[in-house]
Amino acid sequence: MGYEALKERVCAANKEICRTQLAILTFGNASEVDRDAGVFAIKPSGVAYDEMSPDDIPIISLDSGDRVEGVSNPSSDTPTHWHLYRAFATIGGVVHTHSAYATAWAQAQREIPCLGTTHADSFYGSVPCTRPLTQQEVALDYELNTGKVIEEHFIYSGPDPSEMPGVLVSAHAPFTWGKDSMAAVRNAQVLEEIARMAAITLSLNPGIKAVDQYLLDKHYLRKHGVNAYYGQGG
């Protein structure tokens, strides 16, 4: 069975990570799932973005997490993506970057508060930061446990993955998701920008508080609510 269209989309999404300067060198990765086919495609490990082609994109079984097509080794973060697809049934694409500002918040082990409407347009509240992985979690199945820690945060702290399309992994970096791989890249772009804005805002006014709930509701729901009216949709 061929997965050419899926591989082309994932290759394009990975190149977009580089084009938008969300990663340097070979850092970062994007993937996209085809739930009907029971597979997902992901960036090959250590391959430069400008050298990547769709033929390099490996295909991974959603059931087992094993490679089922392609000769390239998949990203070392593949187990994280695999777990997120299995944990969050509504997501279609996952992106991991080490973009500077979002990663700085992750390294500071701080959530990103919603300080304004730019944030509220895309993330329904503070962007969460997970707990640190334990020494045992790092030593045994580190990448898989990264996915599990993300899932744990959403289970016990309450955000809906469809309303909060990203997370900071403590002392590590951000992960974002969306309806497909390119949407996940766009969410990574927004996350980096609101992380930058929040850092600047707090440097200007360290005592600033998160926006009021009514303003958060207005900006998020006018784009994403059942009565959304932003854009050209019918």
Catalytic residues: 121, 230
Nearest to 45 by CA among 56, 32, 33, 61: 56
Place of tokens 């490679």: 67
How far CA 63 is from CA of 37, 38, 86, in Å, comes to 11, 7, 9
Place of tokens 């609101």: 194
Give, rounded to a whole angstrom, the gap between the first and last alpha carbons of the chain. 36
Cβ burial of 99 (10 Å; 0-12, 13-18, 19+) is: buried
CA-CA distance, 4 to 90, in Å (whole number)? Answer: 23
